[in-house]
A and B are shown apart, each in its own frame.
Chain A
Amino acid sequence: NAGVTQTPKFRVLKTGQSMTLLCAQDMNHEYMYWYRQDPGMGLRLIHYSVGEGTTAKGEVPDGYNVSRLKKQNFLLGLESAAPSQTSVYFCASSYSQAQLSYEQYFGPGTRLTVT
């Protein structure tokens, strides 16, 4: 049981290049999320998905696109990378339960540097 996995772990891009980050979960969770983490700012939600084929914007969606073609996968795309997108990116998944709390399970992160 791998939980939540992310690929790649590290990536360096030049301004204007594109890339896709892959997140996979094997817990059959309905909900998936992409966050970015910057020093002193905690985690900020980029996009999220509440089920296969659905996506929605989070707090900081500009410059990113996502797709959820399969329930277990959630892809984050950068069409034209900018230095401001240098960050650590985390994927998470969760499920709903009887109590109104959604415990999230995080992947190990992808460290992206845009030069």
Chain B
Amino acid sequence: TQLLEQSPQFLSIQEGENLTVYCNSSSVFSSLQWYRQEPGEGPVLLVTVVTGGEVKKLKRLTFQFGDARKDSSLHITAAQPGDTGLYLCAGEDAGGTSYGKLTFGQGTILTVHP
């Protein structure tokens, strides 16, 4: 069973601050996905990274996939109250046919105060 360690579990910051969320594993993943979840709703995909070393930007969010495809990070610049939510990383099993099975990290609850 592959494991994804996500940190920190909780993050409480002021509007305008920067933050980074990390996902680490000893296993290699064929891709790494980041989701955001609002209370009472299902997760919604933010981005997928598939190549080692890949960096993707989504407005103020920057996602990076580690060179060895074992870790990933999410960096938010100048956080806003609208960024508040649960952020989840999820890795797709590497090797063979995974049928899209994902291993999720524990999640990071982000609160951005005005």
Q: Which A residues are within 8 Å of any B CB, using their own CB?
A: 4, 31, 33, 35, 40-45, 48, 50, 56, 58-59, 90, 92, 94, 96, 99-109
Name the residue of chain A whose CB is nearest to the CB of B43: A106
Q: Does B64 contact A (CB under 8 A)?
A: no
In the complex, what distance in Å separates the CA atom of A74 from the CA atom of B9?
32
The tally of CB-CB contacts under 8 A between chains A and B is: 73
Q: A33-B101, A59-B1, A106-B42 are in contact. List 16 more A-B contacts (CB 8 A).
A: A33-B100, A42-B4, A42-B104, A45-B102, A92-B42, A96-B100, A99-B50, A100-B50, A100-B92, A101-B30, A101-B50, A102-B31, A103-B33, A104-B100, A106-B44, A108-B41
Specify which of B1, B30, B43, B45 lies most central, judged by the most chain A CB atoms within 10 Å of its CB: B43
How many chain B residues touch A (Cβ–Cβ < 8 Å)? 27
Bound CA–CA A94/B99 (angstroms): 9
